[in-house]
Amino acid sequence: MATAEPIIMPGYQGEYISGPFDDPDGDSDVPDHTGASVEQVFQLFSATAPRGWRVELIEGEICVTPPANGEHEEIVSELTEQVIDRRRDRSLRNYTGIGLDVPGGSMTGHVVPDLAVAPKGTFDDEQEWHDPSAVLLVAEVTSTSTGDRDRETKILGYARAGIPVYLLIDREEAEVTVFSEPSGDRYAKTVKCKLGMVVPLPDPLGFELDTAEF
**Radius of gyration in angstroms for the set of CA atoms belonging to the chain, rounded to a whole number:** 18
**Percent of the chain residues topping a pLDDT of 90:** 81
d(CA 132, CA 134): 6
pLDDT digits (tens, 9 = 90+) for 154-168: 999 999 999 999 999
Rounded to an integer, the average pLDDT of 196-206 is 95
pLDDT of 31-70, one tens digit each? 566 778 999 999 999 999 999 999 999 999 999 999 999 9
Q: According to the model, what pLDDT value does residue 105 have? A: 86
11-42 burial, b if ≥16 CB within 10 A, otherwise e? ebeeeebeeeeeeeeeeeeeeeeeebebeebb
Q: Write the pLDDT tens digit of every residue in 73-103.
A: 999 999 999 999 999 999 999 999 999 999 9
Nearest to 7 by CA among 40, 53, 38: 53
Whole-number pLDDT of residue 11: 44
Weakest mean pLDDT among 2-16, 67-81, 105-119: 2-16
Q: How far is residue 184's CA from residue 175's CA, in Å, rounded to a whole number?
A: 25
Instruction: Say how far apart CA 16 and CA 86 lie, in whole Å.
Output: 50
Instruction: Please determine, for residue 22, whether its predicted confidence score (pLDDT) is greater than 50.
Output: no
pLDDT at 23: 47
Is the confidence at residue 17, as pLDDT, over 60?
no
